[in-house]
Amino acid sequence: MDARKIAEAHLDGWRDADPAAVAAAVTAFRDPDTGGWLEGDALAAHAAAFLERFRNPRLQVERVTGDADAVTVWWTIEAGHRDSYLGMPGVGGVVTIAGSDLVTADGKASRSFDRLAVAEALGYRAAFVPAADEGREFGVSSRTASGRTDRPGAFTLTWLEVRDAAEAAEVDLLSVEIVKGLRASKGFLGVATFDVGDRKYTLAAFDRPESVRAVHARPHQRAVRRFFKAGLCARAMTGVLIPEVIREYARCADCGAVVRPGDGAACGCGWTPGDVPTL
């Protein structure tokens, strides 16, 4: 499949305010409001809810980068705010939302936009955002889990400082390839990525320090070459973190007791928490 054609059909669905077309164009979709990947009827319902809140969308493509394997589309949407969003009632005015879609050849579309910026545009920033200070910045995040529930024996933390939107898009494409490679490695447990200001962070978990070698596969080597030899990004930091202590707690929904997963203990009503992935 050609990521460029998938992206075009997907955006046409949003532009035409057609939830069924949005869902039919991709195999899976996520954005800051979905809480994970959606597909089929669930995606159509999500699109319908968005289009009920933001009526008559006028979508404008600002820039496109990538190729047939993966493409990033930067866009703006102007729409009328007609229904509650993030607890904020419809104001009846027009709001502009800026964001991007990362679409891959397997049909997945990952949408990014700043919900805080949307709240500010609606005039509800003071109610939605904690009191700001000069050192605070906000961003967006995502998570990819392997499904394994092992306790991590090592973490890697990397951040890259990007200089403009085009460079940010290139880093996103490189990150997709790196995560694909990590998911195929035996020691990989999960990864969380988050953008704050001009920095793109990646936190990955592994079952033991020796498994960190999986990071240095070919996609990561290409990214390293882009930084050192092709001028990608203004600054970078990377490190391996070995956890000294990891503690996890779970609360019983019935009696409210707190139990530590994995130690065999149960709460007073007999519930034993299952294991979940760390990332």
Give the model confidence (pLDDT) of 263-277 as tens digits: 778 888 999 998 888
pLDDT at 181 over 60: yes
Residue 130 pLDDT: 47
User: Structure tokens of 154?
Assistant: 């090592």
Band (108; pLDDT cuts 50, 70, 90) = very high
- Which CATH number does 3-128 carry? 3.10.450.50
- By the 8 A CB rule, do 279 and 149 touch? no
C-alpha R_g of the chain: 21
Residue 61's pLDDT band (boundaries 50, 70, 90)? very high
What token pair was written down for 37? 């990947």
Which of 108-112, 114-118, 207-211, 250-254 has the lowest average pLDDT?
A: 114-118
Return the H-helix or E-strand segment holding 255.
none
Q: Would you say domain 139-241 falls under CATH 3.30.70.100?
A: yes
Could you report the per-residue pLDDT of 121-145, keeping only the tens digit for each?
776 544 444 444 556 666 677 888 8
> What is the pTM for the complete model shown?
0.57
Give the C-alpha distances (Å, rounded to integers) separating 277 from 191, 201, 225, 250.
10, 20, 32, 13
The ranges assigned to domains in the chain are: 3-128, 139-241
Provide the 8-state DSSP code for 147: S
